[in-house]
Amino acid sequence: MTDVTTELRTADGKSLKAALAASQVRAKRRAFFLVAPLLLFILVTFVVPIGQMLKQSVYNDAFSSTAPALDKWFQANPLGTPLDEGAYAALASDLKLMKENRTQGQAGTRINYDVAGTRSLFTSTARKINRLEPPWKEAILGVNEGWSDPNLWRAMRSASSPYTIDFYLAAMDHTRDKDNNIVPVNPNRAIYGKLFGRTAMLSIIITVLCMILAFPIAHLLATLPLAKSNLLMIFVLLPFWTSLLVRTTSWMVLLQQQGVLNDLLVWIGIINNGQRLEMMYNKTGTIIAMTHILLPFMVLPLYSVMRTIPPSYVRAARSLGATSWTAFRKIYLPQTLPGIGAGSLLVFILSVGYYITPALVGGADGQLISNMIAFHMQNSLNWSLAAALASLLLGGVVVLYWLYDRLVGIDNMKLG
């Protein structure tokens, strides 16, 4: 049977099928140009930075770019080869090059990430390298016996390639021994696992507290008359109109031992002046301040779901003999699950990456992994380790998002 559309023509004589196809192409082109600015913005501010972070976590050429002679020696001699005169001759050549280019500090810092104290070893030896003469092994060891450390040479061998997984090992409290085997670090130096665990635990506590506090607030917003509901909504949104730094410092004033809350408890007589509560620079301060700051992010998704639930459903259940608790548990609560899931996921993700509030009120016991990432970015300047920690944190959030999609379904999420 002949296709009818191929025989139809437009007013100007063109094929109707071709005209429809051209019209669809133009519509798609217009739609693309409409979203192109947003796509470009996401690419520049989101995709590219994350890509650079992921690369930085496995790429560091601070040593490999400054030690070409050692790189050649490592490639020609497998792990376990005795450190002969050729190894120290390559080291001497690279130290001279480092001194000439003033990169001995850069190279030493890279090795210092793995073996503590080696930055000074590089800088002190590079200052004297031009006065040394062969045999290089005897001359260099005469400057500092530390150059005979097998672990130092293992670290230099690993760093001779710009690509490495050592920063991920460090982020998981592991390292390599002198034989290049992956081993746990000394328990006294195992800090990142504890920080990840503390971050997850505090984030869960904060999420649960926000859910408990937000549920009755959202219910009131959804059931009160419009005038009262709008007034209450203003109080919910008020924190968004106040600087985060102001809110955090306000909690510092309230929670410190000589602060408002302790003064009030002493005045009421609940505690003595010598029994003031420590609510600052610990987990307690972090939980209280972050719960207050993140509470609106739980209230709004819950409210957006609750306002769509017809009150007649609960009344019908009550009229059929259900108690208030049964009607709530079997009728009302299941319909709020999309809001609970969306709010919980949002608050948890915000909690694991929070930085300012734990840094100000958390102290040593209340700081999260984000504070350690900031430390490596700003103080130790170990950007590769910071990128590895951030990548693990990002991976955990992605896994959580995937689990939520599998168990609940992203399509059931309601944010407003």
Q: Which two tokens stand for residue 356?
A: 């300012």
H or E stretch covering 184: strand 182-184
143: closest CA among 161, 127, 159? 127
CB 106, CB 66: distance < 8 Å: yes
Nearest in space to 195 (alpha carbons), one of 172, 169, 176, 165? 172
**262 and 256 Cβ atoms separated by less than 8 Å:** yes
Angle (CA) 152-156-162 rounded to 5° is 150
> According to the model, what pLDDT value does residue 415 have?
53
CA distance 320 to 332: 15
Identify whether 135 is preceded by a cis peptide bond (ω within 30 of 0): yes
What's the sign of the alpha-carbon dihedral 180, 186, 191, 196?
positive
400 vs 348: CA distance, rounded Å: 10
The per-residue pLDDT string of the chain (416 residues; one tens digit each, 9 = 90 and over) reads 445 444 577 666 677 777 788 888 888 888 888 889 988 998 998 899 999 999 999 999 999 999 999 999 999 999 888 999 999 999 999 999 999 999 999 999 999 999 888 999 999 999 999 999 989 999 999 999 999 999 999 999 999 999 999 999 999 999 988 888 899 998 888 999 999 999 999 999 999 999 999 999 999 999 888 888 888 888 888 888 888 888 888 898 888 888 888 888 888 888 888 888 888 888 888 999 999 999 999 999 999 999 988 888 888 988 888 888 998 889 899 999 888 988 999 999 999 988 888 888 888 788 889 999 999 988 888 999 999 999 999 999 899 888 887 777 666 655 55
β-strand pairing of 174-176 with 182-184: antiparallel
**CA pair distance 384, 373, nearest whole angstrom:** 10
Whole-number pLDDT of residue 416: 52
Q: Are 412 and 297 in contact (CB under 8 A)?
A: no
Pairwise CA distance, residues 283 & 345, whole Å: 21
Asked whether 87 and 77 are in contact (CB, 8 A), the reply is: yes
pTM: 0.85
C-alpha 382/C-alpha 57 separation (Å) is 10
> Hey, what domains does the chain have and what are their CATH numbers?
4-56 (no CATH), 68-189 (no CATH), 192-412 (1.10.3720.10)
